[in-house]
Amino acid sequence: MVDTSSLIQSLSHLRGVRVVAAMSGGVDSSVMAALLKEAGADVIGVFLHVWDYSREEVAGHGSCCSLDDAYDARRVADQIGIPFYSMDMRDNFRDNVIDPFIAEYESGRTPNPCERCNRFVKFGALLDAADGLQAAYVATGHYVRRHDDASGVRIFRGADERKDQSYFLATINRTQASRILFPVGDLQKDDTRELARHYKLLTAEKHESQDICFIPAGDRIAFLKREGASAGFVPGDIVDTEGNRLGGHDGIAHYTLGQRKGLNLSGGPWHVVALDGVTARVVVAHPAEAMIRRVEVADEAWIRTPADGEQLLAKVRYQMKPAACSLRKRVEGYELVFEIPQKPTAPGQVAAVYAGEELLGGGIVQAAHREMAVDATGN
């Protein structure tokens, strides 16, 4: 049984403090709001309406932030006795998440919409809305830990290694981080569900969302075509790093760097190592040649700036385990140099930088450099 009393004690400093609870309609944010309420915080539940699901061919079941989720969030707020608002963030979401998502796939990059939603919507526009509500903090159901010290805000990987979501917060800045709370970050996922049952929340057995919230059917290609991403569907050649043609394709939007499945090429295995939005070329290499050593990063943000000589780790893919690296400053941004070559990542993905379990910050991958030969696009 989860020690509820110790959890509530850890939140006792929030008694009487106004907190906006970002409620997605899932079990994690439901428990987060219930914990804050029991701790005596002045909690206001907020659901972010980011996408018009009437345009979809499915009802939105199984996705984050759907109409069903909005209904569940409102009912949970009623259960625990807090005021609730639904905020229309559709224009913000279109400008900062949807349009960049489409443009990135057209150019051969692989965007990370969850990161952009966190940076510009949840911890951008929502913090502005919190100011309007005179709230000191915004709280979420992310599996991330916050343990401040005399130096200020400190963010750490979630206690549940399988559910850790710190990677998606790597591009928020120190000011934003200082106003965000993560009440379930010290819990295991099973403990969160146990607490949901303890509070008798209607979301206790609700399944987790798996798809991108604005693609509830999971068909990225159909979405991109419907949204007019024509440049991503120009037919072209699949070539090796020497420029030898191995086959053809129906558009670079079908591919992402590091991809190895669905290439249908002889002589494999192959990994995608470059996508050229100008020539519509897909470049592939054998696994040993595809490994990367250096990653260029821009749009950086730091919660805590790395100290000179500090031992660092980094993740450049969500499923990657943090790997030892060094950081080199560039005229714009910086470069991560891994001690051991890593599997490929794609421009547009997040580079998250850690010191042990602590998330220091990160940025957006601009380029990844392989160990071996120059590829057929000239990179």
Question: What is the token pair recorded at 12?
Answer: 């006792």
User: Could you tell me if 367 and 351 are in contact, meaning their C-beta atoms sit under 8 angstroms apart?
Assistant: no
- Residue pair 114/349 in contact by the 8 Å Cβ criterion: no
How far apart (Å, rounded) are the C-alpha atoms in residues 332 and 312?
A: 20
| 28 SS3 class | helix
User: Within 10 A of 23 (CB to CB), how many other CB atoms are there?
Assistant: 32
Q: For residues 195 and 213, is the Cβ–Cβ distance under 8 A? A: no
**Catalytic entry in 64, 65, 114, 213:** 213
Supply 145's token pair: 């830990």
The catalytic position among 64, 65, 117, 325 is: 117
Active-site residue, 117 included: yes
The DSSP-derived string for 263-298 is ---TT---EEEEEETTTTEEEEE-HHHH-EEEEEEE
Q: Please give the distance of CA 138 from its chain centroid, rounded to a whole number.
A: 18
State the CB neighbour count (10 A cutoff) for residue 343: 16
CB 373 within 8 A of CB 285: no
Are 202 and 75 in contact by the 8 Å Cβ rule? The answer is yes
Is 114 an active-site residue?
no
What is the set of active-site residues? 117, 213
